[in-house]
């Protein structure tokens, strides 16, 4: 994939970065919702096996969504950095 | 009589949990949409190396949000279904409690002048027992529904696990750096994310969607993303299959699990939770197919009787054609019944959840069921049964696996999985059992299965095969004749011979030779298998074999005849028996302490 000349419109790239930061902020609230719902499920189910499965679901999905939040942050950072570099280079 | 208590739990809370999970799923869909819009904005006028990194990782992030949203919605549906089951059970149990209360009151007051009624008083205990039994049955049904829901939730959890754990951070960084030539990433001005973390996570995200499934606007073509990659060629090793599986995107894995389940469920090297998902999906499909065949067969019943003659006497006899047809019906019904038996066995969650690690409607029927998850347990064992084994007897095999699970736990195993491996066509009679032919056919399958357990396990673990009767012949063959059986210990129980003369002829994990440190053996004094010792190679209980012998119950039993007790051959898993205790210790890794 390497070797292609870098270029683009820093304004649209920076706008994308801004939207991605917002998406990241939104996604990072989701593990709380998953935890809240699975804890309710654990309490309400009254069954140890189902409660344990819900706890595992909480751990797996909470971490998964948290990772996606970090990935969105990384994407936004990549876009931010690229827009900044393009601005420095005069919008090559 | 004890009062009839309602099932534990709270319907309103279960419903609220289901609703909240559905709401979270909806929010994740919105996040996915907003991410798609942002990425489309970014790729509108951008090219070069960083653009490539951005668009591929962006597609990965979208697909992960897609998976998470679907998972939350599916989990919501599972909980909603459980809420329905809970409501039914609660309603039924409450009804039984009311009936019990009314019966008590009537017995006390229905007599003359509001005094106790003698007849009703006499009938009361029986009536209360019946009602309590029905209430317990309703609770048992609910517990089964909870087990089914738990298995479904676990399958959903398994779908998200591989995304960020397939490669080490070092591997990801190396790959991203070499492929994208990403340098000079400035770091995150709004948080603590380091360049290395950003690269690692982008690299992981970039691998989740195939390049040809990414549209020019950065969105994901889910039809292409879900397109089925070909299954690996035959004769691939479990390691190769595991590598192939781990290199698929989560969406490709899901697509395959929902379409090629019959094959994936039996591929050694596929993680156990995925095999369980695939095999459970396959069972009702096979049953529907067999039931259809039965309908067709029932429509083809030939005339049952035909006229025959004995001398000049005419009589009616059952026609050979009808007998042939009837035999086909019985055989087909047996295969259908087998599926019901597997389903019944899987519903039990004691002493641990059961996983369907293999199922094939071939030969005598093949099935592999694990008590506990062998990919996560610290101690794993595989029970290899002997002559006469077929799928219809799986309940007994899992019963032995359950008994060994409990025994290993008592022996100090912190986490355990015990597998009933009905994965080969066992000899069905003494004639075939005197030959090594069936063992020779089964050995590669057992060898592959154990290697598969090793490659799909999370980290290191202790692995044992416990083989019984002809199963010891299979196991001996699978650990010799060019095979290396990837287990740490073997326990041979009631062996007619293991195809080699010495423990040192066996090859175990890492090519280690068998010895009294890792090969254990026991045969009860009055077990008639002793008459057959040596017919399939060396008997491991013989003093010159070189194994560590452990004790079996020497009781002659009530079937003692001419020096032998037929029931001794299947008494090794009897509760509180010394052999069961020893097998638990061997599975737990303390076989050296057995006597």
Residue B557 confidence class, pLDDT cut points 50, 70, 90: low
Q: Which of A59, A50, A61, A55 is nearest to A38 (CA)?
A: A55
Q: Answer yes or no: is pLDDT of B463 > 80.
A: yes
Q: What is the pLDDT of residue B198?
A: 59
Test A26 with B31 for CB contact under 8 angstroms.
Answer: yes
Q: Tell me what the mean pLDDT of segment B555-559 comes to.
A: 64
Per-residue pLDDT band for B433 (boundaries 50, 70, 90) equals confident
Going by pLDDT thresholds of 50, 70 and 90, the confidence category of residue A80 is confident
**To the nearest whole angstrom, how far is the Cα of B38 from the nearest Cα of chain A?**
5
Residue B93 structure tokens? 């149990």
Give tens-digit pLDDT for B405-415.
999 999 999 99
B311 burial type by CB count under 10 A (0-12 exposed, 13-18 middle, 19+ buried): exposed
Reported as a single tens digit per residue, the pLDDT across B67-119 is 899 999 999 999 999 999 999 999 999 999 999 999 999 999 988 888 989 99
| Rounded mean pLDDT, B459-478 | 97
Q: Give CA–CA dist B470/B492, Å, rounded.
A: 10
Which A positions 30-49 lie with beta carbon below 8 A of chain B?
A: 30, 33-34, 36-38, 40-41, 43-47, 49
pLDDT band at A63; cut points 50, 70, 90 = confident
- Cβ-contact B69, A83 below 8 angstroms: no
pLDDT of residue B196: 59
Cα separation of B21 and B71, whole Å?
A: 9
The tokens of B143 are what? 């517990």
**Banded pLDDT at B465 (limits 50, 70, 90):** very high
**Element of type H or E holding A7:** strand A7-8
- pLDDT, tens digit, for every residue of B295-312? 999 999 999 999 999 888
Q: How far apart are CA B270 and CA B245, in angstroms?
A: 7
Residue A37 confidence (pLDDT): 92
**Mean pLDDT confidence for B356-365:** 93
Mean pLDDT of chain B: 88
- The CA distance from B15 to the nearest CA of chain A, in Å, is 8
Q: Provide the pLDDT confidence category of residue B233 given band limits of 50, 70 and 90.
A: confident
Instruction: Please give, rounded to a whole number of angstroms, the shortest distance from the CA of B355 to a CA of chain A.
Output: 14
Among candidates B10, B164, B193 on the partner chain, residue whose Cβ is nearest the Cβ of A74 = B193
Res. B176 pLDDT band, cuts 50 70 90:
very low
- Across B11-48, b (16+ Cβ under 10 Å) vs e yields bebbbbbbbbbbebbebbbebbebbbbbbbbbbbebeb
User: Model confidence over B325-345: pLDDT tens digits?
Assistant: 999 999 999 999 999 999 999
Whether the per-residue pLDDT at B158 is higher than 80: the answer is: no
Q: Which of the residue ranges B32-46, B106-120, B202-216, B268-282 would you say has the lowest mean pLDDT?
A: B202-216
Q: How confident is the model at residue B430 (pLDDT cuts 50, 70, 90)?
A: confident
Contact between residue A73 and residue A21 where contact means Cβ atoms under 8 Å apart: yes
> Minimum mean pLDDT among A76-80, B293-297, B534-538: which range?
A76-80
Nearest residue of A to residue B47, measured between CA atoms: A7
Per-residue confidence (pLDDT) for residue B205, from 0 to 100: 73
Residue B100 CA to residue A70 CA, distance in Å, equals 58
Q: How far apart, in whole angstroms, are the C-alpha atoms of residue B198 and residue B128?
A: 66
pLDDT above 70 coverage of chain B, percent: 91
pLDDT at B194: 53
State residue B162's pLDDT score.
Answer: 44
Please answer whether residues B521 and B591 qualify as being in contact, where contact means their C-beta atoms are separated by less than 8 angstroms. Answer: no
Phi-psi region for residue B373, left (φ > 0), alpha (ψ -120 to 50) or beta? beta
For B529-540, what is the mean pLDDT? 89
Confidence of residue B182 (pLDDT cuts 50, 70, 90): very low
Are A6 and B184 inside 8 Å of each other by CB? no
A57 in reach of chain B (CB within 8 A):
yes
Question: Minimal CA–CA distance to B295: which of B333, B337, B343?
Answer: B333
Find out whether A27 and A65 touch, Cβ atoms under 8 Å.
yes
Determine the pLDDT at residue A85. 79
Among chain B residues, the shortest Cα distance to A78 is held by B185
Distance separating alpha carbons of residues B300 and B322, to the nearest angstrom: 10
Residue B455: band (very low, low, confident or very high) from pLDDT cuts 50, 70, 90: very high
**Overall average pLDDT of the B555-570 stretch:** 73
Between residues A31 and B254, the one the model is more confident about: A31
Q: Are B153 and A37 in contact (CB under 8 A)?
A: no
- Using the Cβ of A77 and the Cβ atoms of chain B, whether some distance falls under 8 Å is answered with yes
- Beta carbons of B186 and A84 less than 8 Å apart: yes
Chain A CB contacts of B20 below 8 Å: 33, 36-37, 40
What was the ipTM of the complex prediction?
A: 0.92
Mutant choice from A53, A56, A83, A91 vs B, greatest count of B C-beta within 10 A: A53
pTM for the model stands at: 0.65
Please answer yes or no on whether A43 and B52 come within 8 Å at the CB atom: no
Give the count of Cβ contacts less than 8 A between chain A and B. Answer: 247
Contact list, A72 vs chain B (CB under 8 Å): 35, 61
Phi-psi region of B534 (alpha: psi -120 to 50; beta: other; left: phi over 0): left
- Name the band, by pLDDT with cuts 50, 70 and 90, for residue A4: very low
| Band (B261; pLDDT cuts 50, 70, 90) | very high
Contact check, Cβ <8 Å, A71/B54:
no
Decide if A79 touches B, using CB distance below 8 A: yes
CA angle B563, B566, B568 (to 5 degrees): 95
pLDDT at B279 over 70: yes
Q: Which residue of chain B has the CA closest to A82?
A: B50
Exposure string for B76-90, b = 16+ CB within 10 A, e = fewer: bebbbebbebbeebb
Q: pLDDT at position B2, please?
A: 62
DSSP states of A56-67:
HHHHHHHHHHHH
Question: What is the pLDDT at residue B254?
Answer: 80
Q: Do B38 and A30 touch (CB under 8 A)?
A: no
Determine which of B340-354, B401-415, B555-569 has the lowest per-residue pLDDT on average.
Answer: B555-569
Contact flag A41-B79 (C-beta cutoff 8 Å): yes
Per the CB < 8 Å rule, is A30 touching B53? no
Residues of chain A contacting B181 with CB distance shorter than 8 Å: 1-3
Whether residues B35 and A72 touch (CB distance < 8 A) is answered with: yes
Percentage of the residues of chain B whose pLDDT score is greater than 90: 68
Question: In the prediction, which pLDDT does B558 show?
Answer: 65
Burial bucket for residue B551 (CB in 10 Å: 0-12, 13-18, 19+): middle
d(CA B489, CA B544): 19
């Amino acid at each position: 994939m390497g070797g292609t000349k870098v270029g683009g419109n820093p304004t649209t790239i920076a706008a994308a970065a801004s939207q991605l930061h917002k998406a990241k902020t939104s996604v990072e609230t989701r593990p709380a919702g998953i935890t809240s719902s699975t804890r309710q499920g654990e309490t309400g189910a009254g069954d140890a096996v189902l409660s344990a499965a819900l706890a595992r679901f909480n751990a797996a999905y909470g971490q998964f969504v948290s990772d996606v939040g970090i990935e969105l942050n990384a994407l936004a950072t990549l876009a931010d950095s690229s827009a900044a570099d393009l601005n420095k280079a005069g919008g090559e | 009589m004890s009062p009839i208590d309602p099932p534990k739990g709270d319907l309103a809370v279960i419903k609220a949990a289901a609703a909240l999970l559905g709401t979270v799923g909806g929010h994740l869909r919105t996040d996915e949409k907003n991410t798609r819009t942002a990425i489309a904005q970014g790729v509108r006028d951008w090219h070069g190396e960083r653009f490539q990194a951005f668009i591929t990782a962006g597609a990965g992030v979208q697909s992960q949000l897609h998976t998470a949203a679907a998972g939350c919605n599916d989990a919501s549906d599972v909980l909603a279904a459980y809420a329905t089951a809970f409501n039914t059970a609660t309603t039924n149990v409450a009804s039984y409690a009311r009936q019990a209360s009314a019966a008590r009151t009537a017995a006390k007051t229905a007599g003359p002048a509001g005094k106790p009624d003698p007849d009703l008083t006499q009938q009361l205990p029986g009536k209360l027992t019946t009602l309590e039994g029905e209430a317990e049955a309703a609770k048992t049904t609910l517990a089964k529904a909870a087990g089914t829901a738990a298995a479904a939730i676990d399958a959903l959890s398994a779908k998200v696990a591989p995304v960020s754990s397939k490669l080490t951070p070092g591997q990801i960084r190396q790959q991203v750096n070499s492929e994208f030539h990403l340098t000079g990433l400035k770091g995150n001005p709004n948080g603590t994310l380091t360049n290395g973390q950003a690269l690692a996570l982008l690299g992981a995200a970039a691998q989740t969607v195939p390049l040809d499934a990414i549209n020019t606007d950065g969105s994901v073509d889910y039809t292409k993303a879900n397109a089925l990659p070909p299954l690996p060629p035959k004769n691939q090793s479990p390691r190769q299959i595991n590598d192939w599986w781990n290199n698929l995107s989560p969406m490709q894995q899901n697509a395959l699990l929902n379409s090629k389940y019959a094959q994936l469920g039996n591929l050694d090297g596929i993680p156990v939770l995925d095999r369980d998902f695939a095999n459970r999906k396959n069972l009702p499909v096979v049953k529907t197919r067999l039931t259809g065949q039965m309908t067709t067969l029932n429509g083809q019943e030939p005339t049952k009787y035909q006229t025959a003659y004995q001398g000049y006497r005419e009589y009616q006899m059952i026609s050979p054609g009808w007998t042939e047809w009837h035999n086909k019906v019985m055989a087909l019904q047996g295969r259908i019944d087998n599926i019901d038996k597997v389903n019944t066995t899987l519903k039990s969650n004691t002493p641990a959840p059961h996983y369907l690690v293999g199922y094939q409607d071939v030969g005598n029927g093949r099935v592999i069921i694990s008590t506990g998850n062998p990919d996560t347990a610290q101690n794993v064992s595989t029970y290899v049964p002997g002559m006469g084994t077929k799928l219809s007897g799986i309940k007994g095999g899992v019963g032995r696996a359950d008994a060994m699970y409990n025994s290993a736990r008592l022996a100090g195993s912190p986490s355990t999985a015990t597998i009933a491996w009905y994965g080969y066509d066992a000899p069905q009679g003494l004639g075939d059992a005197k030959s090594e032919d069936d063992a020779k056919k089964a050995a590669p399958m057992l060898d592959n299965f154990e290697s598969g357990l090793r490659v799909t396990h999370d980290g290191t673990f202790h692995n044992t095969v416990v083989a019984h009767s002809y199963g010891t012949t299979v196991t001996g063959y699978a650990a010799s004749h060019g095979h290396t059986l990837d287990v740490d210990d073997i326990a041979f129980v009631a062996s007619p011979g293991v195809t080699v003369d010495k423990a040192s002829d066996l090859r175990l994990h890492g090519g280690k030779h068998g010895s009294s440190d890792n090969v254990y053996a026991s045969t009860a004094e009055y077990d008639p298998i002793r008459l057959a010792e040596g017919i399939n190679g060396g008997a491991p209980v013989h003093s010159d074999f070189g194994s560590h012998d452990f004790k079996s119950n020497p009781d002659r039993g009530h079937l003692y005849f001419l020096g032998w007790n037929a029931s001794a051959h299947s008494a090794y898993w009897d509760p509180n028996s010394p052999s069961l205790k020893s097998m638990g210790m061997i599975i737990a890794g303390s076989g050296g302490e057995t006597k």
